Amino acid sequence: MILSLAMGTVSQSFGILTDPAVLVAIFLGVVIGIIFGAIPGFSATMTIILFTPVTIPFDASVALIFLVSAYGGAVYAGSIPAILINTPGAPGSVVTCWDGYEFTKAGRATYALAASAMASGVAGIIAAAILLLVGPALAEFALNFGPVELFLLAVFALTIIPAAKGQSLLKGLLGGGFGLLIATIGSDPQLAQPRAILGLPLLRSGVSFVVVLIGLFVFTEALFLATQKKIIDTDVNVTDDQRQVSEGIQAVIDRPIEFIRGTFIGAFIGSLPGAGADVANFISYNEAKRWASDPSKFGTGIIEGIIAADSSNNATQGGALIPTLTIGIPGSGSTAALLSAFAIHGLNPGPGLFQRSGVLVYALIFSLFLGNALILVFGLKGARHFGRLSRIPIKYIVPVVIVLAVIGAFAVRNAHLDVLIMVLFGLIGIILVATDYPLVSVVIGVIVGGFAEEGFVQGWIINQSDPIRFLTTSDIAIVLLLLIAFSLGVTLIRD
Amino acid sequence: MRRVSVGSYTIKINTVEIIFPLLVLIFCTIYYIDTRGLPSRSMLYANPILYMTAFFAIAVIALFSIQIDSTRDEYDNATSSMAGFSNDENNRVMRAIWILLLTMVYLVAIRIQFASATAVFLGSVLYVLGEEDWRILTGYSIVLTSILYAVFVFWLNIPL
C-alpha cells in the first residue's frame, strides 16, 4: 500500500518533469545560474534571492525548479573566474583558484575548466542521489519530532554553525541569539500581545526573514563589491581545444578516490546547518592534500586540487537540501534563500513536507539530476564563453543589485518599512563580516525562531514547567541534547 | 584600538569589535523597555532569549573588545584598522559610504516616483563607481530602469 503510494508520487513527479514549462525552467535556471555565478562576487545566494520575486507569477513547481537549477548552476560557475582570472566567483570557489589559475597561466585553462565541469556535474548528480536516498527516510523520521524536539533541533542548528564554520562559538551564539530575538518581534503566539513593535503596526506580523536575508546577503555584498579593486587586468586567451577537454574528463575518471572523497565531504558538510560550499571546499582540499603522496605539489597547479575542490563544491547542493526539505533548517545561505522562495510559493519545508507536497518535492529532487547533467554539458562545451562574463566590471553590477534588493524587500509585503529594515540589516551585515561573525547564524536564528518558540512554549506547558521533564521528554530529545553538548564541546576545545 | 589609562592599568578598546555587541545590548534594552509590561505568558520564551542574548553580548565585549594591561604601554603597533588604510582603500570605503547615502535618498525618492528615482539612482551610483562617460551613464540608467519597470511594475504588478 505504502509502496504503491510512493510509486504513485514518483510517477506524478516524473509527470511534472515532462512538462515543457518545467524543462524550460531547468534549462533557463542552469544558464542564468552559470551566467550570474561566473560574475565575481555574485554568489548563488544572491542569484536565488534576486530571482525569487520574478518567479512569483509562476506555478510553484516551475518557480522552485527554476531556482534550484539556478542554485546548482551558480555554485558550479563560481569556479570559472577562479580558474580563468584567479578570482573566485563565490566563496565556495576560493580553493579552486589555488591550482586552477596555475593551469591558465600555463595555457591549459580548457583542461582545468573541463575537469572542473566534470567534477562539478557528476558530483552534483551523486549528491542528488544521496538526497533521494536519505531525504525521504529522514523526512519520515522527522514526523516523530514533537514540540520539544523541534525546539532542541533549532538550538542544535545554532550551536553547530560555529563548529562547522570554524568561527568563534561566542560570536556564533550571539549572532544566533540576536536572530532568535528578532524573530520574537511581533504578536506573541499565545496572547497576541505586541512585542517590541516600537509603535509600528506592520511589525505586528513580525520581521520577515526574507527581508533579513536580502539585507545580510545582498545589500551587504553589494556594498562590499563597491569597495573592491578593479578585478580584471589580464586578458586570458582560452582556446577551444577538444583534446584538452577530453584530457580534463579523463583526469577525473583516473582519480576516483579524490573525486568520491570530495563528493561525500561536500554532501556531508552541505547537510550541516549553516555550512555550505565555502567550508566543504577547504575541508575537501585539505583532505586531498593530507592523503596525497606529495602534498607540496598542491597549489602549484595539479588537477587533484581542482577535482577535490569542485567535486565537494557542487555536492553541497544535494546535501544542503536534506535538512532544508526534511526539517526546515537550511544547510547554507543559498538554501536559506530557497526556503524563502518555498514560503513565498506557499510551501512550508520541515516535517510533513514530503507527505503534504511529495509530488513537488520529488520533482525538485529529480530536476537536480537534469540540472547537473546540463551543468556538465554547458561546462564542457561552453565554460570558456561563460568565462567572458568574469570580465564584466563590478561598477555595472552594483547599482542594479541594490535596486533589485530594494524591490525584493518591498515586494515581500509591499511595505517601505521592509526596505528600511533590509538596509539596516545590510549595515549590520557589514559589521558582522568585518568582525568575523557567521552571517548565517543570524539568518538561521530568524528562520528557526518561529518554530523554536512554538516548540518551547508547547513543550513547557505539556511538561508542566518542569525543565528536567522538558529536556528528557523522549529519546530523540536526549540524543539532540547530546548533539548540542557535543557541538558546543568541540567548538569550545577548538576555541 | 582606543586606550584609556586608569592608574597603572591601560584599558584597550577595540572600537570595531565592540560595535555589534553594543548594538545588540542597545536593542536588548529597547526590547526590555518595550515588553516589560507584558504578561509573563507572552514573554515565556522571549525573556530567556532576551537575557541570554544580552549575556552573550556582554561576554563578547569582555573577551573580544576590551583588553586590560597592568603595565602602561605608551605605544604599540596594534593601530586602528581605519588608521591603517591606504589612500586607495580610503577611496574605496568612501565609495561605499556615498552609495549608502545615495541609497537612503533613493528610499525616500521611490515613495514619490519609482521610475525617475531609479534612473537617477542607477546613474549616480555608476558615477560614484567611476563611470564618467555621460552616454554610458544615460544609456545604462534608461535601459535598466525600463527593464525593471516592465518586469516589476507592469508584469508582476508590484505597487512600487
Angstroms from B2 CA to nearest CA on chain A: 17
> B41 with B92, same domain?
no
Query: Which residue's entry shows cell 564542457?
Result: A380
User: What is the average per-residue pLDDT within A80-103?
Assistant: 83
Residue A93 confidence (pLDDT): 83
Of B82, B116, B145, which residue constitutes the final position of a domain?
A: B82
More confident site: B36 or B70: B36
Residue A106 confidence (pLDDT): 84
From the list A168, A226, A414, which residue is nearest B96 (CB)? Answer: A226
> B2 with B74, same domain?
yes
Whole domain around residue B29: which residue ranges? 1-82
> B146 with B115, same domain?
yes
> B34 with B100, same domain?
no
From the list A178, A398, A407, which residue is nearest B129 (CB)? Answer: A398
* Run of H or E residues at A129: helix A109-142
From the list A193, A229, A414, which residue is nearest B39 (CB)? Answer: A193
User: What is the average per-residue pLDDT within A438-459?
Assistant: 90
Residue A238 confidence (pLDDT): 64
Residue A229 confidence (pLDDT): 64
Tell me whether A434 touches chain B (CB under 8 Å).
yes
Beta carbons of A400 and B28 less than 8 Å apart = no
Q: Which residues of B touch A188 (CB under 8 A)?
A: 38, 41-43, 46
Residue A5 confidence (pLDDT): 58
Domain count, chain B: 2
Task: State chain A's mean pLDDT as an integer.
Answer: 87
- In angstroms, the CA A148 to CA B34 distance is 28
Residue A237 confidence (pLDDT): 61
Q: What is the ipTM of this complex?
A: 0.89
Between vectors from CA A453 to CA A448 and to CA A456, what angle results, nearest 5°?
Answer: 120
> B115 with B146, same domain?
yes
C-alpha cell at A43: 554568489
More confident site: A297 or B70: A297
> B10 with B68, same domain?
yes
Which among A91, A102, A154, A72 is positioned nearest to A302, based on CA atoms?
A: A102
Beta carbons of A399 and B107 less than 8 Å apart = no
Residues A449-495: tens digit of each pLDDT: 988 999 999 999 999 889 999 999 999 999 999 999 998 888 888 77
Tell me whether A232 touches chain B (CB under 8 Å).
no
pLDDT at A14 over 80: yes
pLDDT at B25 over 60: yes
Interface probe, candidates B98, B152, B153, B154, chain A, greatest A C-beta count within 10 A: B152
Beta carbons of A174 and B35 less than 8 Å apart = no
pLDDT at A394 over 90: no
Residues B98-140: tens digit of each pLDDT: 999 999 999 999 999 999 999 999 999 999 998 999 999 999 9
Tell me whether B142 touches chain A (CB under 8 Å).
no
Residue A66 confidence (pLDDT): 96
> B96 with B39, same domain?
no
DSSP state of A333: H
> B2 with B72, same domain?
yes
Of B82, B99, B130, which residue constitutes the final position of a domain?
A: B82
Note whether A274 and A438 are within 8 A (CB).
yes
**Alpha helix positions (H), A328-438:** 333-344, 353-356, 358-386, 398-413, 416-434
Residue A81 confidence (pLDDT): 85
Q: What is the DSSP string of A195-258?
A: ES-TT-GGGGG---HHHHHIIIIIIHHHHHHHTPPP-----------HHHHHHHHHHHHT-HHH
Q: In what order do the strands lie in the sheet with B9-13?
A: B2-6, B9-13, B66-69
Note whether A416 and A410 are within 8 A (CB).
yes
Instruction: Report in angstroms the alpha-carbon separations of A232 from A40, A87, A393, B24.
Output: 10, 9, 8, 39
Angstroms from B7 CA to nearest CA on chain A: 30
Beta carbons of A410 and B46 less than 8 Å apart = no
> B96 with B148, same domain?
yes
pTM: 0.85
pLDDT at A292 over 70: yes
Residue A203 confidence (pLDDT): 92
Q: Which residues of B touch A437 (CB under 8 A)?
A: 20
Residue B44 confidence (pLDDT): 93
**pLDDT band, residue A234 (cuts 50/70/90):** low
> B24 with B100, same domain?
no
User: What is the average per-residue pLDDT within A185-202?
Assistant: 90
The proportion of chain A whose per-residue pLDDT surpasses 90, expressed as a percent, equals 40
Task: State chain B's mean pLDDT as an integer.
Answer: 86
Tell me whether B63 touches chain A (CB under 8 Å).
yes
Interface probe, candidates A178, A428, A439, chain B, greatest B C-beta count within 10 A: A178
Residues 41-60 of A with CB under 8 A from B: 53-54, 56-57
Residue B78 confidence (pLDDT): 46
> B16 with B60, same domain?
yes
> B67 with B17, same domain?
yes
pLDDT at A231 over 60: no
- Closest residue in chain B to residue A495, using alpha carbons only: B63
Residues 107-136 of B with CB under 8 A from A: 107, 110-111, 118, 121-122, 125-126, 128-131
Note whether A30 and A53 are within 8 A (CB).
no
Residue B79 confidence (pLDDT): 45
Residues 237-276 of A with CB under 8 A from B: none
Q: Which residues of B touch A228 (CB under 8 A)?
A: 92
Q: What letters, b where the CB count within 10 A reaches 16 and e where it falls short, cover A146-169?
A: bbbbbbbbbbbbbbbbbbbbebbb
Of B23, B54, B82, which residue constitutes the final position of a domain?
A: B82
Residue A233 confidence (pLDDT): 47
Residue B81 confidence (pLDDT): 45
More confident site: A74 or A160: A74
Residue A145 confidence (pLDDT): 87
The proportion of chain B whose per-residue pLDDT surpasses 90, expressed as a percent, equals 58
pLDDT at B50 over 70: yes
- For residue B69, the SS3 value is strand
User: What is the average per-residue pLDDT within A49-62?
Assistant: 89
Q: Which pairing describes strands B66-69 and B9-13: parallel, antiparallel, or unpaired?
A: antiparallel
Beta carbons of B158 and A410 less than 8 Å apart = yes
Q: What are residue B4's DSSP bridge partners?
A: B11
- Closest residue in chain A to residue B129, using alpha carbons only: A395
Residue B80 confidence (pLDDT): 45
Angstroms from A267 CA to nearest CA on chain B: 32
Instruction: Report in angstroms the alpha-carbon separations of A29 from A22, A26, A265, A337, A397.
Output: 10, 5, 25, 15, 19
Largest Cα span, chain B: 69
Beta carbons of A227 and B92 less than 8 Å apart = yes
Q: What is the distance in angstroms between the CA of the first residue and the CA of the last residue of chain A? A: 52
Tell me whether B62 touches chain A (CB under 8 Å).
no
